[in-house]
Chains A and B, each alone.
Chain A
């Protein structure tokens, strides 16, 4: 399996522009997570989906952020309009919940976003 795939790996944009980050989870996984990582705040959960349905979006910072999962193999995280404080590494992760304790989330390589 190719693992979780994210694109682009790097994105540089100007303030006010729309940014779309993409994620392809591991085939067969029924949970998908979007995280943001910064030096100041560490790794923060933004939103997660189960069977393509958003379960908890309480970590989404504000209305400028939106996420969709139109099917089991694709998700997007959109920022519109982008601001310099959105600069961070954004990770997508997926897992297959087997009803057991524990949580092996498999992370993608991340998208490094820089907003100028």
Chain B
């Protein structure tokens, strides 16, 4: 089945630094999504991407839909302590089909 690869499993950065996360797939997707999960909560949608090559921003977050439709990246600029959490990528093939999630990257931000 479809699989999404996110690595590394954990990232440690200093407050104020930028961080970039990548997500790759063995098959194409028509929609890419990035979610964040805070401890003890469910994932929350950060950014949705609908077209190959699309670059979308949401505050300090920027995400891009890869040209090949097999990858996406998320960039967080000027990190702050509340950016701590697990970041998941998710892919969707058809507008009404189910999501496939990556295993997530746990981000730690040192003050």
**A interface with B by C-beta (< 8 Å):** 4, 33, 41-45, 48, 56, 91, 93, 97, 99-105, 107-110
Is B45 in contact with chain A by the CB < 8 A criterion? yes
B97 to chain A: closest CB distance in Å? Answer: 9
B89 to chain A: closest CB distance in Å? Answer: 11
Contact A110:B41 (CB < 8 A) given known A42-B102, A48-B98, A103-B99: yes
User: Do A104 and B42 touch (CB < 8 A)?
Assistant: no
With a cutoff of 8 Å between Cβ atoms, the chain B residues found around residue A97 in the complex are 96
With a cutoff of 8 Å between Cβ atoms, the chain A residues found around residue B90 in the complex are 103
User: Do A102 and B103 touch (CB < 8 A)?
Assistant: no
Contact with A102, one of B31, B88, B101, B104 (Cβ below 8 angstroms): B31
The count of residues in chain B whose C-beta lies closer than 8 Å to any C-beta of chain A is: 22
Interface residues of B in 70-111 (CB under 8 A from A): 88, 90, 92, 95-96, 98-99, 101-104
Contact with A103, one of B31, B40, B43 (Cβ below 8 angstroms): B31
Question: Which residue of A has the minimal Cβ distance to B51?
Answer: A101
Contact A42:B103 (CB < 8 A) given known A91-B42, A110-B41: yes
How many inter-chain residue pairs (CB < 8 Å) link A and B? Answer: 55
**B interface with A by C-beta (< 8 Å):** 30-31, 33, 40-45, 48, 50, 88, 90, 92, 95-96, 98-99, 101-104
What are 29 contact pairs spanning A and B, CB under 8 A? A4-B42, A41-B103, A42-B101, A42-B102, A43-B43, A43-B88, A43-B103, A45-B98, A91-B42, A91-B43, A97-B96, A99-B95, A101-B50, A101-B95, A102-B33, A102-B48, A102-B92, A103-B48, A103-B90, A103-B92, A103-B95, A103-B99, A104-B48, A107-B41, A107-B43, A108-B42, A109-B41, A110-B40, A110-B41
